[in-house]
Structures are given as C-alpha cells and as structure tokens.
Structure 1
Amino acid sequence: MTATEMIHSTPRSAGGAMPKLLIDGLSKRYGNVTALEPTQLAVEKGEFLTLLGPSGSGKTTLLQLICGLVERSSGRLFIDGVDQSDTPVHQRDIGLVFQHYALFPHLTVAENVAFPLKMRGCAPGEISRRVKDALEMVHLGHLGDRFPRMLSGGQQQRVALARCFVYQPSIILMDEPLGALDKKLRDHMQIEIKRLHRETGTTIIYVTHDQEEALAMSDRICLMNHARIEQIGAPHEIYTRPRTAFAADFIGISNIFRGEFVHDAGRPRLATPHGIFNLPEDVSATGKGGALVVRPEHLRIGAASPNRITGAVSEIVYAGSETRVIADLGGGTQAILRLWPGDPVPQIGETITAGWDANSAAFVP
C-alpha cells in the first residue's frame, strides 16, 4: 500500500477528518543497530497518545523522528495529509516539552513564554495578550515578573508548558516532562496537563516509561518493545486484554501462569504446574498453549471457583490504599493478591487458597 492509499484507508474520526499525524514505515538505524523498526501509526486530531516502554524500546527515537531531530532511515511522515518527511524541525509546527525545563535563566517568566512568539515575528500587542492568556491557563499569571530560579520545580514545568502552548503548535511532543518531579507533584502535574489538553484540544504525543502515568493520562497507549510497537489501544484495553506476555508483564502487576492445552469433556483448559485452569470464554485454543494473566484484584482468598491456586503467605505489603499479599506457590513462583476492604488479613506462613473467575483473566499465546 502506498502512503497516499494508507491516508485514504485510515479510519476517520467521527467527523470524517484526516488523521492529524500519519507515520508510514518510519525507521532508524545506526550502523548495525536498529533503534526503530519500520513503524505504522496514525494519530487523530486532538488525541492524547502516550508512547510507553522500557529504556531502549524505541519510544524516544520515534518522538525524535516525528519532530525531525534525527534523520530517518526509511519511511514517510504526514501531518494533516501533507508529507513533512523532509521538512526542517523548525518548520514542522511542532512544540516540544522536555524533562528538563530548558528555561532561560536571565529572562523572566513572561519573557520566557514570549520567546517563541518573538521568534515568529508576532506584534508586541499580540505577544502581550497571548503571554497573559498562557500564564493564566497554567495558573501563573501573578508570577510573570519572576525569574526561573525563584520558582519551584512544578512552577518551572508549568512555565515550560505555557511556553509551548502559547504559539499554538499543531502537535505537542512531551518527552518525560514529569520525570524530575517528586511523586505528589508529578500526580498534580498529570492533572494539569490533562486539563490543558481538554481545554485546548491540542494533539499531544507523550513519552514515558511510567505505566501508571500512561494509564492515567492517555486516550491511547502505544506500548513499545525492542524498537517496535508491541500493542496499541485504550488504557482499559491494554490493561485488561494484553495481547502478549510482555504487555501483560509490563503494564500493571500480573500473575502469569504458563501451560499447555488439555481437553476436558471437549472443553479446552490450560494445564500449568500450579493447576489446570478454565480459559476465558472468548479464547480460541489454537497451538500448543500459552499463558493466563490474572491481575491481583481478581484473586480472592477462599473464592469458590474451579480456578484455584494454593500457597504459603511469604509477605504482606501495606500500600495505604490497598494491601497486597504475596504467596509462594512452589517451584520459585509467587502470586500477588490484592485484599479488598473488609477482607481478613492472613498471617505470614499461613497457607491460603485463592481463586478467580475465568473471564476476568486474559490469555496470551
């Protein structure tokens, strides 16, 4: 399929609009090292897409290819249906927000935010108005005369966001912008970025290795591994129906039971070292077998279910909003359970049996 054919065959949004960004076979190689396999990706206008994955998975390389900071090895890139593959980085109408705020220390907050407008030759009156609006948008209108050194880390990050939003770029790319903040401030800034995205309708592509951040902020998650896309979908889909063992293990906490198919009265089940388990109803038993993915919140101590495991409690972890129980199943395998409010807390060393509903699990080949 040609790039043009791909554009016209890409699913449209509800209004029938062209994808905001279309990546057609983009790849990057450094000698014999592949930083990004040929990649296909369409991003809708106004979407918040997160590139998620471990270090070396290709997410930052893909981000750099989108904005033009590195030269592609193959493939094309389209913005609003226009080929921008060879367009210089400063002409792609793309905004960048980095982990380190990159504010000019000798300029005030207002002057930092005004900088991209001055570089674009905007009139002084328009600059003043747009800087005021941008600072109000990030709740910093009263700090325009201060210098960056006089601000907290969270305030500096909001200045960086205002400086990016002020010139209204077509797409905003964020490369781990909250990585330098403490957890409480990071959680607050996640809400701020979601609010800005909702209020402006800007298309945002966000890079992180933090799975909780990706689940909390995204319209869709593009999970990457070994320089390619592993799975792409809505956060709920990625979490509840991972398509590969890597996706199941990387997103959230998982109990993974591997085994081979056996047939019991014509019904396929999965035989594992820890029991023979019923499969979700939507699973087609093809091949030799695979793995069941059971999330900790679906395992209940004492549940009357055909799918049960037995083990000795080795650790109890109190995490404030939840309590986790770690049980040793033997053979070097552990299971993690989440207790629900009101559940009795077992003792370390106690033998417990826990079960789950077959349809609450996911199956991966």
Structure 2
Amino acid sequence: MTATAPKPAKLVVEGKLVIEGLGKRYGATTALEPSSLSVAEGEFLTLLGPSGSGKTTLLQLICGLVEASEGRVVIDGRDQSNMPVHQRDIGLVFQHYALFPHLTVAENISFPLKMRGRPASEIESRVTATLEMVHLGHLANRFPRELSGGQQQRVALARCFVYQPSIILMDEPLGALDKKLREHMQIEIKRLHRESGATIVYVTHDQEEALAMSDRICLMNHAKIEQLGAPREIYEKPRTAFAADFIGISNIFRGRWDGNGAIETAHGRFNLPAGAAPEQAENALVVRPEHLHIGARDGNAISGKVSEIVYAGSETRVIATLADGTPLVLRLGPDEAVPRIDEIIVAGWARDKAVLVA
C-alpha cells in the first residue's frame, strides 16, 4: 500500500496566499530576489512588469512548477512549499489554451472533475452551471476547432473555474488575442471573478490590462517587487521613476532639490508639491500628460516646439520637443485650444498635480 504524505501543518498567517521571502537562483543568476506579499481571499492581484522582471518565475514558484531556492508558499494557512504541483489546490490558465481537440466543450470542462473522481451528478450540474457562467451553454457539444479564439479562451477559463480551486493562476492568458477581443475578454474575466469570488493571481506585461482588471498590482522590476498597491495608487502616486515610466505615460524631470521647495533640472526650476520632503539630493518630478496645460501654472513653466498632434476623440495628445530633444506630452481635453505643428508653446502644471519620486 502506498503511503500518503502527511498534510502540512496549519500556520498562523493572514491571507489566502502568503509569500514569505520567496526567491529563486540559477547558479549566479537571480531570477527572483527574496520577496514577500499576501493575497486576500477573493482578491485579483496582477503581477506586472517587463520581460525578465521575475513575474512568471514568481507565478511558477507559487504553483510548484519551479522549486524555490529560499522562502515559502503558504496557501489557506498551510505551508505548501515542498508539495508537488498536482497536490496544490491551484488552477492554471495559460496563453495557449491546451484544450483536448478530440473532446467537446462540455467534455473539456468536465475533465478536471472526472480526474478528481467527482460523482456524475455533480459533474453534470457543475459543467452546466459553468457553461452558463461563461455564456457557452449553446456550444456545449462543439469541438475546439469549431470555436473562435475568444470562445476557446472561455472554455479554458471554464475548465479551471469548474472545480473551484483555492487559487487560480493566469499567465498571459489573453496574449494571443487581437486588441478588440482582448478588451472583451478582460471584461469577461472581471465578471467571472466577481461572480465566482475566486482568488486570482494574473501575470501580464500590459499596463492597461493591469489597470483595468486588478484589485491590486504588484509591479516588478529586476527580479524584485518595485511597488505594490491599488491601480489608482500606483498610477497617481508612483514611488520610483521606473513605476512612473512603466505605468502610463509620464513626463519625468530629473534634478537636484534646492533645499527650498523646488527642484533644479536641465529644463528649469520647478516647484515641488506641497509637503514633499526629498530624502536625497537627486530626485525626479513626475507630471502626467493630463495634468499639463498650455500656459504657466503655480510658477511651473516649460517651453517646447509642437512636433506632433494626435486626435483620439475624447482627448488630443500634443507632443512638443524641448530644447535638448526631450519629448513633452500633453493630453488636452475637448474644450482646450489645440496648438499648431511647429508652434512654440509654454506648458505648466499645478504644483500638487506633480509627484516627487526617487
């Protein structure tokens, strides 16, 4: 008789998923610096960052596809760091749907329930309910080859949601879809998350996707966590120049604090936000394009030559070139006057609309 591995002891930790000092090294190469974070039950957390930032490594460590060099993974209060992937109560959705081509939609969705030995009556009721949840009830008897890309992705999602895993991990699940379908599926995944109450950890390099879908974003850079917070917090209050530059469009002015409420940059002297207290001499001031307006404001003024104008319906994006060739981006609302190409403009911003970062 095969011995059954003992269940890991329950720990006193807070969060559906708790990562404590989790790290991964391959020889002299560090794929993930020791990192810690907690994910609440029912939360949608997105791991966001450029290629090589460590986000996929962290996801693989959570599900057990990769063995950690240090730290631990705690799920539902139990240390599962040394458990194989098939014993962790985790669902996985990848960019490639990996549907069984010889099985119908309903059979694909029922597969994980059959593998777990669930009763036939339970399988039938769960598959029916899940098909309705993903709006595919009318396609239950079709095969994957008879479905569109978006429908196949919904089958892959349904196959994961149907057995109600403790945590669902998604690695770039919309990467193979075109822009319009991708945006539609973002809404679908948000709806599924809301209706199911599932805990989701989602990997993407798409900043707009992360902002649109997440309860919180874990921004990663150089194999470590750069900033963790709600989408609005990370967009409006970035803590570093990297966070400001990676999420959205930013005008970043680097310089030295003058010790008297302003920063001296190559483009001029700009007033800091009220109450800003630089912790070092070298800093950067971040101004989002929507906060820049034609004309000086609060003593902040910068001039440039208009090089491009992009009309986008609800806004007009104006790109001006500063004296040293640096681009300056403004987003003008529908009621603001739009300058002409090659016109010299002066732009400014209210001091409290800027953010001081390291």
Smaller-chain TM-score bracket: over 0.9
Secondary structure of the equivalent of 1:292? strand
Is 1:54 aligned with 2:50?
yes
Q: Deviations over 1:264-311 (max 9, x none)?
A: xxx321011111111011311332130100000000112543111111
Q: 2:75 aligns with which of 70, 74, 79?
A: 79
Q: Where in structure 2 are the equivalents of 1:201-350 lying within 5 Å?
A: 201-263=197-259, 267-350=260-343
Preserved CA contact (<8 Å) 2:314 2:333: no
Whether contact under 8 Å (1:114, 1:131) holds in the other structure is: yes
Q: Deviations over 1:79-124 (max 9, x none)?
A: 1111101111111110000011110011000000000000000111
Distance in 2 (alpha carbons) for counterparts of 1:158 and 1:332 = 46
- 2 CA distance for matches of 1:313 and 1:27? 47
Deviations 1:25-83 (A, max 9, x none): 11111111111111111111111000000000000000000000011111111011111
Instruction: Say yes or no: does 1:109 pair with 2:108.
Output: no
- Within 1, Cα distance between the matches of 2:313 and 2:88? 46
For residues 279 and 43 of structure 2, what CA distance do their matches in structure 1 show? 36
What is the CA–CA distance in structure 1 between the aligned matches of 2:95 and 2:118, rounded to whole Å? 27
Pair 1:353 & 2:346 matched = yes
Aligned to 1:15: none
TM-fit CA distance, 1:261: 1.3
Q: Does 1:189 align with 2:182?
A: no
CA distance in 1, matches of 2:267, 2:194: 47
* Structure 2 residue ranges without an equivalent (≥5): 1-10
Unmatched 5+ stretches in structure 1: 1-6, 11-17
Deviations 1:215-238 (A, max 9, x none): 000000000001000000000110
Q: Distance in 2 between matches of 1:22 and 1:125?
A: 35
Paired letter, 1:44: A
- Matched-pair contact (CA < 8 Å) for 2:297–2:350: no
AA in 2 matched with 1:336: V
Q: TM-score, normalised by structure 2?
A: 0.95
Root-mean-square deviation (CA), in Å? 1.1
Stretches of 4+ aligned residues off by more than 4 angstroms: none
Structure 2 SS opposite 1:330: coil
- Rounded to whole Å, the distance in 2 between the matches of 1:71 and 1:328 is 49
Contact 1:268 1:285 (8 Å CA) reproduced: no
Whichever residue aligns with residue 325 of structure 1, its letter is V
Measured in 1, the distance between the counterparts of 2:314 and 2:215 equals: 25
Confirm or deny: 8 A CA contact 2:315 2:333 kept in the other structure.
yes
The size of the alignment, in residue pairs, is 348
1:160 aligned onto 2:160? no
The residue type equivalent to 1:292 in the other structure is L
Cα pair 1:262 1:271 within 8 Å, conserved: yes
C-alpha distance after superposition, 1:332-358 (max 9, x if no partner): 211000010121221110001111011
Q: 1:126 aligns with which of 100, 109, 122?
A: 122
> Contact between 2:174 and 2:182, CA under 8 Å: does it hold in 1?
yes
Q: Which amino acid aligns with 2:250?
A: S
What is the SS of the residue equivalent to 1:359?
helix
